[in-house]
């Protein structure tokens, strides 16, 4: 919702003041909780936070009087009133109605003030992300900028002493940047052990990066705006349509709501289902379950165990819970949205058919599955089955003597599913046969589906390339799938994505072979690492922590390119280029 203000110059001053205030808020929390002891005395920092609270309240009052329509202003900021009421009850009631002791009352007041400041900063960040996406510039550039801001912010938090396990030594900048990039790009490659080298604070930061990076901070901004009852302007809706790859602007609100609530529901069900998998206290069980459920659904591959799920390879939850979470996260929200709509339509038709006799004679046609959904489901199922068969075959007949890996159907199924998207493993990857690892590289190259949290060239791209080859063999002028024709521009885009992806993969592999020459890694290990980074998978043969600083920076770049997609980066660079208005004469050439 765009609010019109009377004094534009005053509004620009308030925007600058807001940015400065939000920066000071973050700095105050860092100085309070980022170190073993606060950098300044605690009462000074708490006093600063109270002053910042007053600044936020004053800013709202000034904007209210500066707004042309007071009704529109309060309609867009209605949540401020209940938020201030809760804050007032906490401040006044502490020591009277609850928290009887002085120490408890002070703690409640500090918590209430801190919570208010956090909500304000998050709200302003979300609104800013949407406004930037709708600014008229390329939305892809906004997406790239949001990822970069998230990565560097996460790296800064992970460098704090409180984020490390001992609470004293800080993580180096390159290692912190590597971990933050891996989390934001939902890859899972690590140079430091997530479970042992990071404190609870560090693990929570990584988990937040996974969730924000998996769904996108712009999408979170849109979710936050919708939850607060704010309607999108036309420009904002068009920007969100571009970022979500939605077909129509009218579906943007429904699509964003579906993304948010389906994510919460799937991750919650996954976390509850994983509770019985762990040992230890209730608090640890819940944290382990929530962490791995989010990591699996976002296809991140981060685990709190040094060897991933190798110790849980015989646990039924590894296949029955983790694998479905990975598959659902890799299908893409547009496919899930289509499947849910079809299921709801079938249920409605069933009840209308049996409880409304007149409806039997006037039934409309059922909703049809979109071509995108058919392609994604068929290719995903085919890749899983072919991956399982190939791994079983090669582990039995192509492995060397004394191979320690277990050649089981469940193990092959888990690796076939996780190699395309997630990055968990139930077997030692370095102990697998070279043929099996090459199969994993191919699966990582393909990746998940469009609109998902997975990387790779995507399943639909693979299907279009294959069907284009089949159309050429059959001497057909159009690429056909499921009795539908694919536009030539889509075929060209699929070819471009594949070529760019292959170019980045081979280029990254070549650079790593140069920088890691002193380490003595085999070319197979280097290509596997490069494919895992570019496909945002996270599987490794064990060389990640041994990489040189230059090698880590190359992997960081490949993870970011893989998460954003080579085509997205190319679109951002060529956004202002205008198409040519002329054609050259045609002349025959020979290929093949």
| CA–CA dist 110, 91 (Å, integer) | 9
Relative orientation angle of helices 549-564 and 173-184, to the nearest 10 degrees = 20
- Please state which of the ranges 40-44, 66-70, 500-504 shows the lowest mean pLDDT: 66-70
| CA–CA dist 83, 88 (Å, integer) | 9
Sign of the alpha-carbon torsion through 560, 563, 565, 569: negative
How many other C-beta atoms lie within 10 A of the C-beta of residue 228?
A: 16
pLDDT in tens, 121-131: 877 777 776 66
3-class secondary-structure state, position 251: helix
Residues 6+ apart with CB under 8 A from 474: none
Give me the pLDDT at residue 248, please.
Answer: 47
| Cβ-contact 20, 80 below 8 angstroms | no
State both tokens at 194: 């997530």
How many other C-beta atoms lie within 10 A of the C-beta of residue 534?
A: 31
| Cβ-contact 135, 572 below 8 angstroms | no
pLDDT in tens, 523-539: 989 999 999 999 888 88
Higher-confidence residue of 361 and 394: namely: 394
Give whole-number Cα distances, 534 to 186, 189, 424, 555, in Å: 11, 11, 16, 8
Give me the pLDDT at residue 386, please.
Answer: 93
What confidence category does residue 300 fall into, taking pLDDT thresholds of 50, 70 and 90? confident
Q: Is the pLDDT of residue 374 over 80?
A: yes
Q: Print the SS3 string covering 261-292.
A: HHHHHHHHHHHHHCHHHCCCCHHHHHHHHHHH
| CA–CA dist 137, 199 (Å, integer) | 40
Give me the pLDDT at residue 82, please.
Answer: 83
Nearest to 274 by CA among 257, 291, 252, 299: 291
Residues 6+ apart with CB under 8 A from 466: none
H-run or E-run covering 327: helix 323-331
| CA–CA dist 53, 21 (Å, integer) | 9
Q: Is the pLDDT of residue 242 over 70?
A: no
The whole-number average pLDDT for the span 324-329 is 90
pTM reported for the whole predicted model: 0.85
Q: Is the pLDDT of residue 253 over 70?
A: no
| Cβ-contact 214, 421 below 8 angstroms | no
The DSSP letter of residue 320 is I
pLDDT in tens, 449-465: 887 778 888 899 999 99
Phi, psi (deg, nearest 5) at residue 442? -65, -40
3-class secondary-structure state, position 5: strand
Give me the pLDDT at residue 11, please.
Answer: 82
Relative orientation angle of helices 102-133 and 234-244, to the nearest 10 degrees = 90
3-class secondary-structure state, position 164: strand
Nearest to 266 by CA among 302, 299, 222: 299
Nearest to 267 by CA among 289, 300, 244: 289
Q: Is the pLDDT of residue 98 over 70?
A: yes
Nearest to 270 by CA among 213, 232, 230, 320: 320
Phi, psi (deg, nearest 5) at residue 321? -120, -55
State both tokens at 552: 């880590």
Q: Is the pLDDT of residue 207 over 50?
A: yes
Sign of the alpha-carbon torsion through 312, 314, 317, 320: positive
Residue 537 — left, alpha, or beta (φ > 0 → left; ψ -120 to 50 → alpha)?
alpha
State both tokens at 209: 């990066």
Q: Is the pLDDT of residue 249 over 50?
A: no
Question: Which single residue is written with the structure tokens 């329509």?
Answer: 69
Q: Is the pLDDT of residue 37 over 50?
A: yes
Give me the pLDDT at residue 293, please.
Answer: 92
Question: Which single residue is written with the structure tokens 């038709």?
Answer: 349
Terminus-to-terminus CA distance in the chain, angstroms? 56
Q: Is the pLDDT of residue 299 over 70?
A: yes
The whole-number average pLDDT for the span 215-231 is 57
H-run or E-run covering 485: strand 484-486
State both tokens at 281: 């206290």
| CA–CA dist 412, 381 (Å, integer) | 14
Q: Print the SS3 string covering 472-536.
A: HHCCCCCEEECCEEECHHHHHHHHHHHHHHHHHHHHHHHHHHHHCHHHCCCHHHHHHHHHHHHCC
| CA–CA dist 585, 81 (Å, integer) | 67
Can you give the residue ranges of every domain in the chain? 1-133
3-class secondary-structure state, position 104: helix
Phi, psi (deg, nearest 5) at residue 486? -100, 135
The runs of H, that is alpha helices, within 516-587 are 523-534, 549-564, 566-573
Percent of the chain beyond pLDDT 70?
85
Mean pLDDT, rounded, of the chain: 82
| CA–CA dist 551, 430 (Å, integer) | 19
Phi, psi (deg, nearest 5) at residue 187? -95, -60
């Amino acid at each position: 919702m765009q609010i019109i203000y009377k004094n534009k110059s005053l509004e620009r001053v308030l925007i600058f003041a807001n940015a400065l205030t939000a920066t000071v808020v973050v700095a105050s929390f860092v100085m309070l909780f980022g170190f073993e002891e606060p950098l300044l005395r605690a009462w000074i920092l708490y006093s600063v936070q109270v002053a910042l609270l007053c600044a936020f309240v004053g800013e709202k009052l000034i904007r209210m009087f500066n707004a042309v329509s007071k009704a529109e202003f309060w309609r867009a900021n209605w949540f401020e009133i209940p938020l201030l009421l809760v804050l007032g009850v906490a401040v006044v009631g502490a020591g009277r109605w609850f928290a009887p002791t002085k120490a408890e009352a002070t703690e409640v007041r500090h918590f209430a003030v801190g919570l208010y400041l956090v909500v304000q900063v998050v709200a302003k960040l979300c609104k800013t992300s949407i406004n930037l996406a709708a600014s008229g510039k390329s939305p892809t550039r906004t997406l790239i900028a949001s990822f970069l801001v998230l990565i560097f912010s996460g790296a800064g938090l992970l460098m704090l002493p409180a984020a490390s396990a001992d609470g004293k030594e800080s993580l180096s900048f390159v290692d912190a940047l590597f971990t933050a990039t891996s989390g934001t790009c939902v890859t899972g490659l690590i140079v430091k052990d997530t479970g042992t080298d990071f404190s609870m604070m560090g693990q929570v930061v990584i988990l937040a990066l996974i969730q924000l990076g998996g769904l996108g901070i712009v999408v979170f901004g849109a979710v936050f705006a919708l939850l607060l009852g704010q309607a999108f302007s036309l420009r904002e809706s068009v920007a969100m349509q571009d970022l979500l790859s939605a077909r129509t602007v009218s579906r943007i609100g429904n699509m964003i709501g579906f993304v948010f609530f389906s994510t919460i529901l799937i991750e919650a069900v996954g976390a509850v289902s994983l509770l019985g998998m762990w040992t230890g206290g209730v608090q640890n069980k819940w944290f382990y379950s929530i962490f791995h459920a989010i990591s699996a659904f976002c296809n991140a591959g981060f685990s709190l165990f040094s060897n991933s799920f190798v110790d849980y390879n015989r646990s039924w939850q590894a296949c029955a819970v983790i694998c479905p979470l990975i598959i659902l996260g890799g299908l893409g929200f547009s496919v899930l949205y289509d499947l849910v709509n079809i299921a709801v339509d079938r249920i409605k038709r069933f009840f209308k058919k049996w409880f409304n006799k007149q409806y039997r004679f006037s039934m409309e046609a059922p909703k049809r599955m979109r071509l995108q959904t058919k392609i994604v489901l068929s290719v995903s199922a085919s890749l899983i089955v072919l991956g399982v068969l190939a791994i079983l075959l090669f582990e039995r007949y192509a492995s060397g003597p004394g191979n320690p890996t277990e050649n089981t159907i469940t193990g092959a199924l888990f690796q076939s599913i996780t190699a395309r998207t997630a990055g968990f493993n139930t077997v030692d990857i370095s102990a697998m046969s070279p043929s099996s690892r090459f199969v994993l590289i191919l699966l990582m190259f393909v990746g998940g589906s469009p609109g998902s949290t997975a990387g790779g060239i995507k399943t639909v791209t693979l299907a279009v390339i294959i069907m284009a080859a089949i159309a050429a063999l059959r001497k057909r002028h159009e690429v056909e799938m499921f009795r539908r024709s694919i536009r030539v521009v889509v075929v060209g885009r699929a070819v471009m994505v594949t070529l760019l992806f292959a170019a980045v993969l081979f280029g990254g592999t070549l650079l790593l072979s140069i920088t890691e020459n002193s380490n003595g890694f085999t070319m197979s290990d280097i290509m596997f690492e490069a494919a895992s980074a570019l496909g945002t998978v996270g599987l490794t043969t064990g060389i990640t922590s041994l990489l040189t600083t230059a090698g880590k920076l190359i992997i960081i770049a490949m993870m970011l390119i893989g998460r954003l997609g080579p085509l997205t980066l190319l679109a951002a660079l060529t956004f202002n280029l205008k198409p040519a208005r002329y054609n050259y004469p045609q002349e025959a050439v020979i290929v093949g």
